[in-house]
């Protein structure tokens, strides 16, 4: 079996979530090659070569692959695909953008967001917002797969010594161009990488009230998330959304504040190791998945909690 | 400018689905069906573009069962001009749906194709990207803002960690994220008017694409239940439990 993993990176650092794909690939028991495509991405490529389990790193360094634009990147992958049985990436907004496009180029029905590997062609994946888990078997000769990061551990990012091969491919299709990006600058950890996540829901009442979570997050070194209801209500931006249609997280501790616990939210956080919930409604479904539930008014509980930790 | 909007009939957002007793599939008998919420956002966006005078015709396309005409009617009631149903009683995979949509686009020659970023049944998040690949056009997934200049479209996308803005040549494929807009409710007169708008029905076998299944569902099951824990009385007990029992803070 030959496996190609698409690395996600910012030309400097490999996104830690890529390491979860390496673990999934190891379960498939094959030779793992990692593609680092970008612009001035040699530093990232060298990092990739140190990941344990990766035997080869392909570097494709060209302005055409800057910002991982889907059109050029998927085309590049489609040209490499002939040499591989599996093309894998960790499920992120970037890979969700690229991998289905690749799959269509090579006429493969992609398999999104796998949460388990049964054997070389059979996989588990959540459907219906995680209400149901499907066991699916692919009959395509090649597999294009995205991996749910929380379902696989991160492979060690050191100890490997992969051969690095530079490729001189560069094809600018001219279909799209990057204009700008607004990266939310935060001293807090990324939602998907944080050891502790504290999330607010509709019960927060307003975007301003989310500041009640700031002090707690700072004290705990936590990331701040939100339920879809809070995003829908316009309290906070969508990139804070935890849930089936947002980010999937599985931290050591998840604190749900003013979140009722809609299925779509639970799908995004129920693999957390410990869940604590604060809600004024003692019947809220969130309590049925929480290790520790506190029934109370978040506006008095939160300041007290911040004080106590 | 002509816009095609793809709409999918799915189990209603508020229904809690369960596997059939034999675990072969999800139970869909007597379950309320609706337009996929992300598709509804895509329709709303097309209608707003028409109201702004950017788009002059909206064609709502669905690939699905005869009953999918109901969801096309929903799109027509929101403001789409006409509908096309590619009819099949089988449940098609995203690649097959994308191939059907490509055939329709080849004929209709839209400047813009709008889809939802994912359907809430299969949660695949693939069809738009696949369609863009087949059409060999640019794509903007997870759109939260769309604007037009002469022959290009600028789209702001919701990506991990923030927002990204890109520019695409036309024609282009755009998939909607949650915050692109808030769909309106169809008014009664518009629902009545929608009944008179035309829907073309094309049998999937006449469209000339291979829609055979590539991925078989072997079984579906409920996810492992998480056990409910305890209720604590107050903040100090909560902090104590987190610190000394769970040892997570």
DSSP symbols for A70-136: HHHHHHHHHHHGGG-SEEEEE-SHHHHHHHHHHHHHTT---EEEE-EEEETTEEEEEEGGGTEEEEE
Euclidean distance between CA atoms A190 and A260, whole angstroms: 24
- Domain-located, residue B249: no
Q: What percent of chain B has pLDDT over 70?
A: 100
- Domain-located, residue B246: no
Could you say which of A131, A232, A293 has the minimum Cβ distance to residue B16?
A: A131
Axis-axis angle for helices B94-108, A93-105 (nearest 10): 70
Q: What pLDDT does A193 receive? A: 86
User: Which A residues in the span 63-102 are in contact with B, Cβ-Cβ below 8 Å?
Assistant: 67, 69-71, 74, 92-94, 96-102
> Which band of pLDDT confidence, cut at 50, 70 and 90, is reported for residue B150?
confident
Mean pLDDT of chain B: 96
Name the percent of chain B in helix, strand, coil, to the closest 5: 30, 30, 40
Q: Can you spell out the DSSP letters for B208-221?
A: T-----SEEEEEEE
Quick one: tokens of A9? 């990176």
Q: Which residues of B touch A102 (CB under 8 A)?
A: 133
Q: Which residues of A touch B215 (CB under 8 A)?
A: 109, 111, 136-140
> Which band of pLDDT confidence, cut at 50, 70 and 90, is reported for residue A292?
very high
Decide if A69 and B216 are in contact by the 8 Å CB cutoff: no
Q: How many domains is chain B built from?
A: 1
Shortest CA distance to B137 belongs to which of B112, B111, B171? B171
Q: What pLDDT does A120 receive? A: 97
Mean pLDDT of the B54-76 span: 98
Q: Is the pLDDT of residue A200 over 90?
A: yes
Return the H-helix or E-strand segment holding B163: strand B162-169
Q: Is the pLDDT of residue A257 over 90?
A: yes
Report chain A's C-alpha Rg in angstroms. 21
Euclidean distance between CA atoms A59 and A44, whole angstroms: 9
A interface mutation test: which of B127, B238, B241 has the most A CBs within 10 A? Answer: B238
- Domain-located, residue B238: no
- Determine contact: B203 vs chain A, CB below 8 A: no
Nearest-Cα distance to chain A for B203, in Å, is 22
Could you say which of B178, B214, B246 has the minimum Cβ distance to residue A140?
A: B214
Euclidean distance between CA atoms B229 and A254, whole angstroms: 14
Q: What pLDDT does B25 receive? A: 95
Shortest CA distance to B144 belongs to which of B129, B160, B159, B156? B156
Euclidean distance between CA atoms A276 and A256, whole angstroms: 6
- Determine contact: A171 vs chain B, CB below 8 A: no
- Domain-located, residue B247: no
Q: Can you spell out the DSSP letters for B38-84?
A: HHHHHHHHHHHHHHTTS-SEEEEEEEE-GGGHHHHHHHHHHT--EEE
- Domain-located, residue B174: yes
Q: What pLDDT does A238 receive? A: 87
Q: What pLDDT does A102 receive? A: 98
- Domain-located, residue B234: no
- Determine contact: B10 vs chain A, CB below 8 A: no
Could you say which of B141, B166, B230 has the minimum Cβ distance to residue A177?
A: B166
How does pLDDT run across B151-190, given as a tens digit for each residue? Answer: 899 999 999 888 999 999 999 999 999 889 999 999 999 9
Q: What pLDDT does B224 receive? A: 86
Closest residue in A to B211 (Cα–Cα): A109
Decide if B221 and A276 are in contact by the 8 Å CB cutoff: no
Q: What pLDDT does A241 receive? A: 94
Q: Is the pLDDT of residue A184 over 80?
A: no
Euclidean distance between CA atoms B162 and B22, whole angstroms: 43
Residue A211 falls in which region: left (phi positive, over 0), alpha (psi -120 to 50) or beta = alpha
Q: What percent of chain B has pLDDT over 90?
A: 93
- Domain-located, residue B230: no
Shortest CA distance to A108 belongs to which of B215, B207, B139? B215
Q: Is the pLDDT of residue A185 over 80?
A: no
- Domain-located, residue B186: yes
Decide if B126 and A100 are in contact by the 8 Å CB cutoff: yes
Least confident of B127-136, B207-216, B218-227: B218-227
Q: Which residue has the higher pLDDT, B160 or B80?
A: B80
Q: Based on the number of CB atoms within 10 Å of its own CB, is A31 exposed (0-12), middle (13-18) or buried (19 or more)?
A: middle
Q: Which domain holds residue B111?
A: 2-222
Q: Is the pLDDT of residue B149 over 90?
A: no
Decide if B215 and A139 are in contact by the 8 Å CB cutoff: yes
Is-contact B83 B76, C-beta < 8 A? yes
Q: Which residue has the higher pLDDT, A131 or A211?
A: A211
- Determine contact: A105 vs chain B, CB below 8 A: yes
Shortest CA distance to A35 belongs to which of A70, A91, A64, A73? A73
How does pLDDT run across B82-132, given as a tens digit for each residue? Answer: 999 999 999 999 999 999 999 999 999 999 999 999 999 999 999 999 999
> Which band of pLDDT confidence, cut at 50, 70 and 90, is reported for residue A231?
very high
Q: Which residues of B touch A308 (CB under 8 A)?
A: 235-236, 239
Could you say which of B162, B218, B235 has the minimum Cβ distance to residue A184?
A: B162
What CATH number is given to the structural domain containing B100?
3.40.50.620
Is-contact A64 A170, C-beta < 8 A? yes
Going by the DSSP 8-state scheme, the letter that residue B29 receives in this structure is T
Mean pLDDT of chain A: 96
Euclidean distance between CA atoms B127 and B49, whole angstroms: 22
Mean pLDDT of the A105-134 span: 96
Locus of tokens 């979570």? A213
> Which band of pLDDT confidence, cut at 50, 70 and 90, is reported for residue B16?
confident
Shortest CA distance to A104 belongs to which of B50, B209, B207? B209
């Amino acid at each position: 079996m030959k496996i190609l993993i698409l690395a996600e990176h910012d030309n400097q650092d490999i996104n830690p979530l890529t390491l979860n794909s390496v673990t999934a690939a190891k379960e498939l028991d094959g030779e793992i090659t990692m593609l680092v495509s970008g612009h001035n991405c040699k530093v990232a490529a060298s990092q990739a070569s140190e990941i344990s389990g990766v035997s080869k790193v392909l570097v494709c360094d060209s302005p055409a692959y800057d910002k991982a634009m889907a059109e050029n990147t998927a085309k590049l992958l489609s040209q490499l695909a002939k040499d591989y049985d599996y093309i894998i990436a960790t499920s992120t907004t970037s890979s969700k953008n690229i991998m289905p496009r690749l799959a269509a180029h090579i006429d493969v029905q992609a398999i999104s967001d796998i949460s388990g590997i049964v054997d070389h062609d059979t996989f588990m994946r959540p459907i219906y917002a995680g209400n149901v888990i499907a066991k699916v078997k692919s009959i395509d000769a090649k597999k294009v797969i995205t991996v749910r990061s929380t379902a696989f551990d991160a492979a060690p990012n050191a100890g490997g010594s992969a051969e690095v091969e530079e490729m001189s491919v560069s094809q600018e299709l001219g279909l799209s161009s990057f204009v700008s990006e607004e990266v939310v600058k935060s001293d807090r950890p990324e939602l998907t990488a944080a050891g502790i996540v504290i999330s607010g829901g509709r019960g927060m009442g307003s975007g301003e009230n989310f500041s009640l979570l700031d002090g707690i997050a700072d004290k705990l070194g936590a990331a701040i998330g939100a339920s879809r209801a809070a995003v829908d209500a316009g309290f906070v931006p969508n990139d804070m959304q935890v849930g089936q249609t947002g980010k999937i997280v599985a931290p050591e501790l998840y604190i749900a504040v003013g979140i009722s616990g809609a299925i779509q939210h639970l799908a995004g956080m129920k693999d957390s190791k410990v869940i604590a919930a604060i809600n004024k409604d003692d019947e809220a479904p969130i309590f049925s998945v929480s290790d520790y539930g506190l029934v109370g008014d978040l506006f008095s509980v939160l300041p007290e909690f911040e004080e106590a930790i | 400018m002509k816009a095609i909007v793809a709409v999918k009939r799915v189990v209603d957002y508020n229904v809690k689905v369960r596997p059939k007793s034999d675990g072969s599939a999800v139970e869909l008998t007597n379950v309320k069906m609706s337009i996929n919420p992300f598709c509804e956002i895509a329709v709303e966006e097309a209608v707003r573009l028409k109201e702004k005078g950017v788009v002059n015709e909206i064609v709502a396309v669905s690939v699905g069962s005869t009953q999918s005409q109901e969801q096309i009617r929903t799109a027509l009631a929101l403001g789409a001009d006409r509908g096309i149903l590619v009819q099949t009683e089988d449940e098609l995979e995203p690649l097959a749906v994308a191939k059907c949509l490509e055939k329709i686009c080849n004929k209709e020659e839209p400047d813009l194709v709008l889809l939802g970023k994912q359907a809430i049944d299969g949660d695949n998040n693939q069809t738009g990207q696949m369609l863009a690949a087949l059409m060999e056009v640019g794509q903007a997934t997870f759109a939260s803002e769309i604007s037009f200049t002469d022959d290009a479209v600028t789209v702001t996308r919701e990506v991990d960690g923030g927002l990204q803005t890109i520019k695409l040549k036309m024609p282009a494929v755009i998939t909607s994220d949650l915050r692109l807009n808030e769909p309106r409710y169809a008014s009664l007169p518009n629902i009545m008017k929608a009944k008179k708008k035309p829907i073309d029905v094309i049998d999937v076998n006449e469209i000339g694409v291979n829609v055979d299944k590539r991925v078989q569902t072997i079984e579906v099951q409920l996810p492992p239940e998480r056990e409910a824990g305890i209720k604590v009385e107050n903040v100090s007990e909560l902090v104590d439990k987190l610190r000394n029992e769970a040892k997570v803070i």
